[in-house]
Amino acid sequence: MANVTPKIVIEIDPRYPVPEICAVIAAVLPYHPGNGTAIMRGVLEAIDQELQKGAETDGVPEPTREPANQ
């Protein structure tokens, strides 16, 4: 029986990190139908952890958003 392994090879331009990272996520999600939300939550959690590490090492508190006056 044939052994088929899907593989994505990606080259990114580090000068444009945000659109490149978004393109990588968009390329991976179709391989996991029905799990897009869980994957995105995992990515969000990883980003939050990195932001927290950055805030701790910089000695600068994370920015907060003030509630809009209504």
pLDDT of residue 61: 64
Contacts (Cβ under 8 Å, ≥6 apart) of 55:
61, 62
pLDDT higher at 57 or 65: 65
Separation of alpha carbons 30 and 55, rounded Å: 33
Query: What confidence tens digit (pLDDT) does each residue in 7-64 have?
Result: 999 999 999 999 999 999 999 999 999 999 999 999 999 999 999 887 766 666 666 7
7 or 65: whose pLDDT is higher? 7
What confidence score (pLDDT) does residue 53 get?
A: 86
* Full-model pTM: 0.67
All structural domains of the chain with their residue ranges: 17-55
